[in-house]
Each structure stands twice: as structure tokens, then as C-alpha cells.
Amino acid sequence: MNHDARQTLPPQHPLASGLTGQSRLVRAYRGDRPEVTPVWFMRQAGRSLPEYRELRVGTKMLDACLDPALASEITLQPVRRHGVDAGIFFSDIVVPLKLVGVEVEIVAGRGPVMGKAVRTAADVAELTALDPAVLDAALAPISDAVARTVAALAEIAPRHRVAGEPASVTPLIGFAGAPFTLAAYLVEGGPSKDHLAARALMHSAPEAWADLMRWSAEVTGRFLRAQVLAGASAAQLFDSWAGALSLEDYETHVAPASAHALSFVRDLGYYEPVGDAAADPERVWRSVPIVHFGVGTSELLGAMHAIGADVVGVDYRLALDEGIRRLGGTVPVQGNVDPALLGAPWPVLEAHVLDVLRRGDAAPSHVLNLGHGVPPDTDPEVLSRIVELVHGR
């Protein structure tokens, strides 16, 4: 699939129709610092919310992801409760693997477990015989869920409006797993602390590894593209396990595939009128903003930006202003409140959040988020309180 040329989003898309293009989140992702710092939380939809746990009773994780009405409702829950500046689509990075024909199940307390580990060149050949093009039809439940969510978000205006702030509605962020993280699950057969088998395959069978990464990029790129075309106003690529890699291994064996995955959304955008709308305004091309986030990736930030991301997420292990410095001081950032402090006394957490905001001032723009996901035992009221603090700053 060739994504070199620009492809205009449908006119009813929230970005193209003007609903979300001036939202706090989209402006910040483009490097324009809005009047109010936007905030959302990775894993904000899920186990920390009692309404989520009630809704999920008796439903397996992947079944919930593939039920459009259920996935949409779960996505909307934290937006209603916390007043965050974006919804993050409720799904899982292995959903496109399941839909393309990979045997995978999410085991409670463990995570994604594959029916078979991909350990040899023959295993890779067998896996990559599954055609990613089947996803164009198989992703229909995902597109449906996104469309439902976007329609509901159009009725939810951001809270804490201030004078001079452009009108907008709350945008939806689409997401997908980066090719390395998908490949690591496939090779290891499930979660791993050090990804030794994946890293061994990378070096012992580099051609097979390249085939695996190319295939993973096709699968996850189509997943991300489907979400954007259905109405997501931004796209985030998660590389949960890239922190296991050296910079050299990342640049040589991973970055090309991640860039390929992002090519599935890099060409999508719209023309935004600038100037006097009554006259003949200049039209400026706006691409869909792309965020790249990894865990333990302090040494990889520059390379992660270079694959084609607009925004880089910084995890909690690195001071945010140092991350900004490593990115040259010119890249919008997202992060990086330490999730562990969500359980600390409020004065401790408040001081930490304010410190992160202060450090974020060194970037062109900053989206306040966690340096990883919301822990399941987090008190939801704490998240709401953080939103109030950030919006009232």
C-alpha cells in the first residue's frame, strides 16, 4: 500500500469539519501552546473505574474490544467522569493480530498469550503467510466503535473554558502497538521482562526478523489507519517493550518498521482555511497528529521522534525537561507524572504534578499525562483532582 501522496479525510471527520482542530489537545500536539494545558491519562478507561468493572462482568477482554457499543461506552466513561481533554480508544494492541488470524488470548493477571511462539525462520514464514489485507474488512467493528464514540464526544464540550479559547469538542485518540512490541509478544509467546528470545531472533536470523517486523507494521498500521479514518483526531503508537533495546538495535532493526507503521496515517489530513473566511482564505494542509510513546526509552527519544512522530511521550524515569533537552527543545511532549505517586498523599502528588508542568514549559507545548498507565487500584477521584489542578493552573 502506497501512502506517499496526501489523502484528504472525509468531510464529516471531526478534524476536517472543524470540531476538534482547535481543541486543546490537537493544538498542543501541533506545537501551539493552548490557553489551558490539556490532560488525559494512559489507561484512563479501564480497571480503575467501578463503572468499567461493572460493565465488564462476564465479558472477556478481546470480546469487549470487538463489541462496538461496549468499547465505545468504556472509552467515554473517563471523559464523563474526569473531564479529561481526550478520549483514548478502548481496545488492545493485539486486536489486529486476532483479526488477521493469530491465536491469542488475554489472560487475566498475565496479559496477551499466543497460541504458538514464533521462534524460527519457518515460524515467521508461517505467520507472515497471513495476509494483512484481510483487516480492511475485519476491522469493521473497530471502525463502528470509533464512529459511535466520536458521535458521542461531539456532545461533550471541554470543561473549564477560559476567555479567548476556541470552541471545540473533545477529540478521540486512536492507538496501536509498535511493530517491535507486537513482535516481542509473538516471539516470546506472551509477556516477558527482558525479551531475550526476540532480541536473539533479531540477530541470529536478521532476514526473518525483518520479515516479521514488516508484517507487524502492516498489521498494526492498518489498525491505526482504520481508527483515524473512522474519526480519531490523533494517533498514538505504543512501543511498550522498546526500552529493552540499545539505540543501535532500535535504529537498525526496529525504527524502519515503526516508520512504516506510521506511514499508514502519515498521509492523512485536511485543508484548514486560514485568514478571512469571507474572502479567499489561504488553505493550509494539516496532517493528523502522531504521538510516539515507549516505556524505558530515555536513550531512544530522538530516534523515536525521527521515525515520523510529531509528539514524543516521555516516561516517568526521566525528568521531563531533560527529555525535552534530548529532543532539541523543539518537539511537543507528553507526560510524565509517576503513576506510583497516584497513591501518595495529595500534597506530595500535587507538588509532583506542578513540577512536571513547570518542566514541561521548556517545550513548545506539553500534554500532561502519566509516565505509563493508570494502576488498577487508583482512586478515580485522584485523577479527577489532577484534572482540576491542571486546568486551574
Per residue in 261-301, pLDDT (tens digit) is 999 999 999 998 876 655 566 789 999 999 999 999 999 99
Mean per-residue pLDDT, 86-90: 97
Average pLDDT taken over every residue of the chain: 95
**pLDDT tens, position by position, 227-251:** 999 999 999 999 999 999 999 999 9
The active-site residue, picked from 30, 33, 56, 119, is 56
Question: Is residue 88 pLDDT above 80, yes or no?
Answer: yes
Higher pLDDT: 276 or 337? It is: 337
52 among known catalytic residues: no
Contacts of 133 (CB under 8 A, 6+ apart): none
- pLDDT tier at 3, thresholds 50, 70, 90: low
43 among known catalytic residues: yes
Mean per-residue pLDDT, 194-221: 97
- Cell numbers standing for residue 13: 471527520
* pLDDT of res. 255: 98
* pLDDT of res. 167: 87
- pLDDT tier at 5, thresholds 50, 70, 90: confident
Question: Is residue 359 pLDDT above 60, yes or no?
Answer: yes
Q: Which residues are annotated as a binding site for substrate?
A: 43-47, 92, 185, 240, 372
* pLDDT of res. 157: 75
Question: Is residue 159 pLDDT above 90, yes or no?
Answer: no
* pLDDT of res. 276: 61
Q: Which residues are annotated as a binding site?
A: 43-47, 92, 185, 240, 372
- pLDDT tier at 344, thresholds 50, 70, 90: very high
117-126 long-range Cβ contacts below 8 angstroms, 24+ apart: 117/186, 117/187, 117/188, 117/189, 117/197, 118/186, 118/187, 118/212, 119/187, 119/197, 119/201, 120/205, 120/208, 121/205, 121/207, 121/208, 124/205, 124/208, 124/209, 124/211, 124/212, 125/208, 125/211
The active-site residue, picked from 24, 27, 29, 43, is 43
The active-site residue, picked from 47, 81, 214, 286, is 47
* pLDDT of res. 162: 84
* pLDDT of res. 349: 98
Mean per-residue pLDDT, 220-226: 98
357-361-364 Cα angle (round to 5): 130
Distance CA 346, CA 369 (A): 17
The active-site residue, picked from 24, 85, 123, 185, is 185
* pLDDT of res. 393: 84
76-55-49 Cα angle (round to 5): 60
Closest CA to 336 of 350, 357, 351: 357
Closest CA to 62 of 21, 34, 94: 94
* pLDDT of res. 369: 98
Question: Is residue 1 pLDDT above 60, yes or no?
Answer: no
92 among known catalytic residues: yes
* pLDDT of res. 161: 83
Distance CA 47, CA 56 (A): 9
Mean per-residue pLDDT, 121-140: 98
* pLDDT of res. 155: 87
**pLDDT tens, position by position, 22-74:** 999 999 999 999 999 999 999 999 999 999 999 999 999 999 999 999 999 99
* Domains by residue range for the chain, with CATH: 7-391 (3.20.20.210)
Maximum CA pair distance of the chain?
63
